[in-house]
Structure 1
Amino acid sequence: MKKIKFSPLGKRSFIISFLLGTLLLAAFWLIRAEFFIELGFYYVLVTAVINMFILLHELIIYLTDVSDQKASGNSVLLLLVNIPITVLYLYILTQFSWLDEVLKI
């Protein structure tokens, strides 16, 4: 079985975005400071713009590359995985915040 190859830029962008987003969510759960909600909101906005530019760059490389090495195409798919992860984190955050109000935590 072949090893899936990713472009370094796409792979690094995915890992950094995922880890920082997860770290912000975990920090909010542990500390429960409203600061992390605001910081997370701005983080999502900035990361969405940066990742969109990287995604477009990788897509252009994928579409113009004539070789059989399509690491940029795999990176496009990897970057797109961040979208459902973000939606899942937002869902968890809203459910968790609602639960806090009910339990008066």
Structure 2
Amino acid sequence: MTTPECCGTLTSDTLSAPDAAELARTLKALADPARLRLISLVASHDGAEACVCDLVEPLGLSQPTVSHHLKVLVDAGLLTRDKRGVWAYYALVPGALEAVAGALASPVADPR
């Protein structure tokens, strides 16, 4: 079967269905202003790690709401959670944000 002249041909790899689903899940987790601020707050702390107690006041949200947003980011693979005594500490997953940026910068995401 030949490709009609009006149709273009693929010149690079495309995003697979499983990869697209995973990227969409990650982007959905990031598509919230509070979660974006949490990523920024964690990244700006010493060692890119912050206690949940340090994240509540800057966001102006209740502790349960902040914890919910942090859980979404952990489930999306963007943050790790380390329980120490009664406090939970969150850190960026090395390379996670770069992987998202790389997926968005690939030719697949180029609208041209």
Give the TM-score, by structure 2 length: 0.32
What is the TM-score normalised by the length of structure 1?
0.34
